[in-house]
Amino acid sequence: MRLEKYRIDQHNSELDDKHQKRISFFLEENTSAKNIIQKLVDFQIAIPSWALGTGGTRFGRFSGGGEPRNLEDKLMDIGLLHQLNGSSGAVSLHIPWDIPSDAEKIKNLAGSLNLKFDAMNSNTFQDQAAQEFSYKFGSLQHVDENVRRQAIEHNIEVIKHGEALGSKSLTVWLADGSCFPGQLNFREAFQRTLDSLREIYAALPTDWKIFVEYKAYEPNFYSTTVGDWGQSLLYATKLGEKAFTLVDLGHHLPNANIEQIVSLLLMEGKLGGFHFNDSKYGDDDLTAGSLKPYQLFLIFNELVEGMDARGMNHATDLGWMIDASHNVKDPLEDLLQSVEAIMMAYAQSLLVDRTALKAAQQVHDVALCQEILQHAHRTDVRPLVAEARLRAGAALDPIALFRTLDVRKKLIDERGLKTVATGL
């Protein structure tokens, strides 16, 4: 479904008085804020096609109804999010879950919804019905050349689907690894994986990037063949200039200093993109910013500092994507919350007084360094993010409008209560 423009306008005019008071106060208090609004308008976060339905755990799945039945429905849902918040103008597709039956038609539909195609994702962590060889013991690392060949060809096929849609990057996340000591020769597994990745890399179009995503554990529990940022960086460095590391916030061991990892990857020109989510214990795939908003801010603080140091465009030079799962919330409301949290962390990091921070660092004024960062983080930037939405033609309060218009009920009426979206 699409929202009629007048619904958004009506919602905004109802909230306008209150918003104008808040934003004028904000602009008075923060002289640098004017420049930030345009950066927020430009900043887009890709929605993963696999997160539009209810997520499951290994114990079960409780569908909420009205889930997208096909790729067209998924794009419509993302189009709806983008109408509501003006910041979800991209989609990250997963193959084979989202193979377009007619690429031109899908591309046109996305265009009509103002959506771009961000990174394509391959899948060699599951066996598909028609597949000849099993990935039970890995894909690109597998000891059997036939399995590796099949996985390489799958990735090349994903690139071709992406080319037809106008995507410019491929994310490779491997479940490869081992569950028990002795199961795998680490060095040989790494080498085989590298050789396989080299073949995929050779098939990349000239203007494409490949992102190598790492993950500390799960589904393998003893070793992972791309287990951390060091291993990912090794692959990316050996592959060449089109290869980068992708950071998924949930893929670290507990208490890892992700902001430092991000800073160094940026310094080396090897940070490619992001998968946002939040977690309490492991790869929980919870709503971004729902548990550790300060960490999210500290990560953005390094991103902004590092990107500015390299003269990078915040909006376009890295892949910004959500990778989350929603077991108990409406997926669309959850995604609106994630995008809001990401925009807030970004806005706060743009407020950091970098000149003052640099000066405080030079004289070891540790307390002042903390004050400067926390001042930015403790600033209520919600009026600023809302103003960016307003200027983008979106809603001042996306979730309130989603609820007022009974969007989920309408989706259930249109699609049925028992639909199940492909995904995790």
The footprint of Mn ion (CB under 5 A) covers: 248, 275, 323
Q: By C-beta, is 285 or 397 nearer to Mn ion? A: 285
Shortest distance (Å) from residue 215 CB to Mn ion:
8
Closest CA to 93 of 114, 74, 67, 112: 74
- Round to whole Å and give the CA distance between 277 and 138: 26
Write down the residue that tokens 């399995």 correspond to: 147
How many other CB atoms are found less than 10 A from the CB of residue 276? Answer: 25
Q: Shortest approach of Mn ion to residue 35 CB, angstroms? A: 32
Least separation in angstroms between residue 348's CB and Mn ion is 24
Closest CB to Mn ion among 38 and 126? 126
C-alpha to C-alpha distance for 299 and 261, rounded to whole angstroms: 9
Q: Which is nearer to Mn ion, 46 or 385 (CB)?
A: 46
Least separation in angstroms between CB 422 and Mn ion: 17
Residue 128 Cβ vs Mn ion, minimum distance, rounded to whole Å = 20
* DSSP per position, 319-372: EEEE----SSS-HHHHHHHHHHHHHHHHHHHHTS-HHHHHHHHHTT-HHHHHHH
Minimal distance in Å, beta carbon 174 to Mn ion?
11
- CA distance readout (Å), 156 to 151, 161, 196: 9, 9, 11
Nearer to Mn ion, 283 or 333 (CB): 283
Residue number, 86 or 227, with CB nearest to Mn ion: 227
Cα distances (angstroms) measured from residue 316 to each of 39, 116, 319, 350: 11, 12, 7, 16
Least distance between Mn ion and beta carbon 397 (Å): 29
Nearer to Mn ion, 150 or 171 (CB): 171
Ordered DSSP codes for 177-228: EESSTTS--HHHHHHHHHHHHHHHHHTS-TT-EEEEE--SSSS-SSEETT-S
Greatest Cα pair distance, the chain, in angstroms, is 67
Q: Which is nearer to Mn ion, 113 or 296 (CB)?
A: 296
